[in-house]
């Protein structure tokens, strides 16, 4: 599996191929369209990313020692943004996700081309994904701890 930094570099390179932001937005929208459908059972308030103007749902689970994400949104650009984050972070170790500075967002110029509301929403998506990765790490480490016995 490529590292988070490697995937970030790929995205920066891909977005740099476009001469203008309308084409880059189109590419980001296509990333969102490529997301697998999110099962309706995850389109609930418990799976909603709060802090986004659009509806964004995120399912997080651990599989084979890495954190996996599934996501959806009701807005095209937002769905593309969460799609980029899923591409970068899904399949990575929880600690790597928690520590990732996610520099591609600024290196590719994504944040500066978003409205303030979308930029805040992007920050909420990143924070939620990192928080859920840490929760998976804590859950796994808790399972690895021996049960305490009463003395």
List per-residue pLDDT tens for the chain, 151 residues long: 899 999 999 999 999 999 999 999 999 999 999 999 999 999 999 999 999 999 999 999 999 999 999 999 999 999 999 999 999 999 999 999 999 999 999 999 999 999 999 999 999 999 999 999 999 988 877 765 444 444 3
* Global confidence as pTM: 0.92
For 99, the token pair is 């520590």
Q: What is each CA distance from 144 to 63, 138, 139, in whole angstroms?
A: 16, 10, 9
Closest CA to 28 of 87, 69, 70: 87
Neighbours of 97 (CB within 10 A): 27
Q: In the annotation, is 52 catalytic? A: yes
The active-site residue, picked from 52, 71, 82, 86, is: 52
């Amino acid at each position: 599996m490529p590292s988070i930094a490697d995937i970030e570099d790929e995205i920066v390179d891909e977005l740099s191929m476009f001469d203008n932001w309308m084409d880059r937005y189109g590419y980001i929208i296509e990333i969102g369209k490529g997301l697998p459908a999110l099962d309706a059972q995850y389109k609930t308030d418990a799976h909603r990313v709060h802090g986004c103007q659009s509806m964004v749902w995120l399912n997080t689970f651990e599989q084979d020692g890495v954190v996996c994400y599934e996501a959806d949104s009701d807005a095209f650009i937002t769905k593309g943004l969460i799609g980029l984050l899923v591409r970068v972070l899904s399949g990575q170790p929880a600690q790597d996700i928690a520590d990732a500075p996610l520099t591609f967002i600024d290196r590719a110029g994504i944040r500066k081309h978003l409205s303030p509301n979308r930029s805040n929403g992007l920050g909420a998506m990143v924070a939620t994904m990192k928080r859920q990765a840490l929760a998976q790490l804590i859950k796994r480490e808790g399972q690895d701890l021996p049960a305490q016995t009463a003395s």
